[in-house]
Amino acid sequence: MKIDRLLAITILLINKEKVTAKELADNFEVSRRTIYRDVETLNKAGIPIVTTKGVDGGISILENYKMDKNIFKVEELETIIKALEGVRKILPDSDLENTLEKLKGFNTDLEDKEETFIIDYSPWGNDEELTEKVNLIKKAIKNNYLIEFSYLSNKNQRTSRKVEPLTIILKGHSWYIYGYCRLREDFRVFRISRIRDLTINKEKFIRKKGTPQECLDSNNITDKVKLVLKVDKEYIERSYEYFPRESFEILEGGSAIIRTEIWENEWLYDFLLGLGEYIEVIEPMRIRDIIKVKLEKILKKYF
């Protein structure tokens, strides 16, 4: 409650020039005395809040601090709100709901404005199964409960896992669970869409300290590979969606060569196959061969 209010007061002061203790007290439904105590707490925490007595007085934040820190300007607040709204679709949560309402309360600009941009992390269509899984994992994380599930690896192998869940992660277009895997006796990241038969085991665990980012990075296995692709003329525009413009070299006939570096893994092969008939792997030959073998297997299924 108090932390919420302190954060909210800071955001409000950054976005407003001056506000009286009475206004703050009314806004947060607390007494003026409480607001003064909050101001004192914020000052102790190093946030330079200044107060002016008398007529036209009030509470404000040092202008230099606004400039230096450059945090939570109205536009940034709008981005945060949009991002939280996007997450809410897949991760309904009452705390999140409250935070959103409070943030929206400060950003009055947002109310009567047309949607300038939308951030939506939810999959196309209603993925109730994903939402259900995420909620179950969230409950387990909150209560330090062990979870059990069957997991399909990159190499298409299914294993039964007992995991101490620590964090839910959104990376790229996918949701992941980071935790300590008792089978592998180490920290692991699991893609939620590959999890089946998820159940909460009421066995409690003591949280171990791990770094999700390290795990996500090492998940890219092997080294980056230098990839050269040839893309047909009619597909160039669409390819800008996947590769930076500077990696394109337009050839005389209108087609293009793309030179890029990318992590090599199963995902890359599937991605290249997904680009279909318009893109051809030129280098390295090894990847070209892998794609060829995969295509032959596909062909066998159809002919």
Size of the site for DNA (CB under 7 A): 26
Output 44 or 245, the one with its CB closest to DNA: 44
Contact 280, 228 (CB under 8 A): no
CB of 48 to DNA, least distance (A): 13
Of residues 220, 158, 151, 221, the one with CA closest to residue 179? 151
CA distance 207 to 186: 13
d(CA 266, CA 269) in angstroms, rounded, equals: 5
58 vs 212, which CB is nearer to DNA?
58
Under 8 Å between Cβ of 122 and 182: no
Q: How far is the CB of 65 from DNA (least distance, A)?
A: 17
- Joined tokens for residue 34: 């409480």
How far apart (Å, rounded) are the C-alpha atoms in residues 60 and 46?
14
Instruction: Kindly state the tokens that stand for 28.
Output: 């947060």
Q: Which is nearer to DNA, 56 or 241 (CB)?
A: 56
Residues 6 or more apart whose Cβ sits within 8 Å of residue 59: 13, 18, 19, 20, 21, 24, 35, 39, 49, 50, 51, 52
Q: How far is the CB of 2 from DNA (least distance, A)?
A: 4
Does the footprint of DNA cover residue 233 (CB under 7 A)?
Answer: no
Binding flag, residue 32, DNA (CB under 7 A) = yes
Residues 192-221 that bind DNA (CB under 7 A): none
Residues in contact with DNA, shown as a per-residue x/- string from 34 to 63 under the rule CB under 7 A:
x-xxxxx----------xxxxxxxxx----
Q: Are strands 158-171 and 174-181 parallel, antiparallel or unpaired?
A: antiparallel
Residues with Cβ within 8 Å of 83's Cβ and at least 6 positions away in sequence, in order, are 119
Between 56 and 252, CB nearer to DNA: 56
Nearest distance from residue 179's CB to DNA, in Å? 25
Among 7, 30, 74, 152, binds DNA (CB under 7 A): 30
* Least distance to DNA, CB of residue 71, Å: 23
- Distance, in Å, from the CA atom of 50 to the CA atom of 176, rounded to the nearest integer, reads 44
29 in contact with DNA (CB under 7 A): yes
Please report how close the Cβ of residue 144 comes to DNA at its closest, in angstroms.
15
Smaller CB distance to DNA: residue 25 or 80?
25
Q: Is 8 in the site for DNA (CB under 7 A)?
A: no
Note whether 164 binds DNA by CB under 7 A.
Answer: no
Kindly list the residues in this chain that would bind DNA in the complex (CB under 7 A): 1-2, 5, 20-22, 29-34, 36-40, 51-59
